[in-house]
Structure 1
Amino acid sequence: MDALPAFGRFDGLEHRFAVRVYFEDTDLTGVVYHANYLRYLERARSDMLALAGVDQRRVHEAGEGAYAVRDIAIQYRAPARLGDELIVLSRLVGLRPVGVVIQQRVMLGATIVVEAKVEAVFVAPSGKPRRQPAQWVAAFEPLLWKGN
C-alpha cells in the first residue's frame, strides 16, 4: 500500500499546512474548542512527515512500531472562530535516535493563535521506545531547524 498523500508544503525548512475552522470545531461561544487544536497540530505533523518521506503506515503495518507523543507543551494565545483560515507552521527542532521534537504554531494571518512543542518517540509494538528507522533519521537531518 502506498504512503498517504500530503496536502501541505515545505517553505524552506518550515512546513505549512492549511486548516479551515468548521462549525464542528467550535464550542458554545463560537470559538475553536481547545482540544481541536491538538487535531490540527497532529494533521500538520503527519503531513510534514509524509512530505519528508516518512511512511508511518507502512512501518506500523510491518509491525516495526509507531510514533507516540511523549510530551506536549501548548500555549493558547488568541481565539479562532468559525470560517477562519488557519495555517499550521511546523519545524523540526530536535532529532534523536528514538524520536523528534517539532515546534508548531497555528496562525491566523500574522496572529499566533496557538504555540506548541511536541516530542514524539518511536515505540515498538510492546510500547517500549526504540530507535526509529535509519531512513527516517536520514530524511530528517536536512530538515533540522538550527535557528532560534
Structure 2
Amino acid sequence: MTAGPLQRDIKGSASLQAPHRFAIRVYYEDTDFSGVVYHASYLRFLERGRTEFLRALGIGHRSIFAGADGESLHFVVRAMSIEFIKPALMDDSLWVETSIETLGGASVEMSQAILRDAEPPLIKAKVRIGMASQGKARRIPPLILNKLKGEASPP
C-alpha cells in the first residue's frame, strides 16, 4: 500500500510515542472449558483497548455518534490481522497496548498487543479502522484527525 498525500506515518509523534495501555482481567466468561482464553474474547479485549485509547485522546464514541456538526459518525473496523502467540489464562491480569501506525484522511491503522507482566506479547494485531455515517464511508473530520495526530484543537 502506498501512502497518499493525506497519509503520514506518525509513529514518531511525541504525544503518541509510547503505546496507550489498558488493563484487562480475564474472567471465567472469557475462557473455554479448560480455563484458556477463548480466541474470540481477544477481539473484545482489543476493542476495549482501542476505545480507551481514543477516549484518552478526547475522542468519545458517544460524542461523535451524537454528531456535533449534525452528522452522526462512528468508527468501523475495515481489516484486522491477529497473531495468537501464547494463551492467556483465567484470572490473568493483562495489558492491551494500542498505538497508531499510519494515519490517513479516511482511515487509521493501529498496532495492538496483549501482554502479561514482563513477558513478550501473547497476541499481536494490526487493525484498520475508518469512519462511517449512515452505512457509508466518510473522511475523518479535521477535529478528530487533529486529536489522532496529538495536536491541540483550535479554540
Partner of 2:94 in structure 1? 86
* Ranges of 4+ aligned residues in structure 1 off by more than 4 Å: none
Q: Give the counterpart of 2:46 among 41, 57, 69.
A: 41
> Aligned letter for 1:57?
R
User: Which among 125, 136, 147 is matched to residue 116 of structure 1?
Assistant: 125
Q: Secondary structure at the match of 2:150?
A: helix
1:58-77 counterparts in 2 under 5 A?
Answer: 58-62=63-67, 63-77=71-85
In the alignment, structure 1 residue 99 sits paired with structure 2 residue 107: yes
Partner SS state of residue 139, structure 2:
coil
Once the two structures are superposed, residues 75-128 of structure 1 have per-residue CA deviations (whole angstroms, 9 ceiling, x without a partner) of 100011011110111111111111211100000122311100000000111x11
Mind listing any 5+ residue stretches in structure 2 that lack a counterpart?
1-14
The DSSP-based 3-state class of the residue aligned with 1:49 is helix
Q: Following TM superposition, by how much is the alpha carbon of 1:132 offset from its aligned partner in structure 2, in angstroms?
A: 1.3
Q: State how far apart, in whole Å, the 1-side matches of 2:128 and 2:62 are.
A: 19
Whether the 8 Å contact between 2:16 and 2:100 is mirrored in structure 1 is no
Partner-residue secondary structure (3-state), 1:57: helix
Residue of structure 2 equivalent to 1:5:
none
Which AA in structure 2 matches 1:45?
Answer: R
Matched with 2:145 is 137
Q: Distance in 1 between matches of 2:62 and 2:125?
A: 24
Aligned-partner Cα distance in 2 for 1:136–1:42: 19
**Residue 80 of structure 1 aligns to which amino acid in structure 2?**
A
Quick check: 2:16–2:150 contact (8 Å CA) kept in 1?
no
Among the aligned pairs, what percent are the same residue? Answer: 35
CA distance in 1, matches of 2:29, 2:44: 13
Shift of 1:133: 1.7
State the aligned residue count.
133
TM-score of the superposition, structure 1-length normalised? 0.84
Shift in CA distance, 71/18, structure 1 to aligned 2, threshold 3 Å: same
What is the distance in 1 between the residues matched to 2:46 and 2:66?
A: 23
Gaps spanning 5+ residues in structure 1: where?
A: 1-9, 144-148
Counterpart position of 1:18: 23
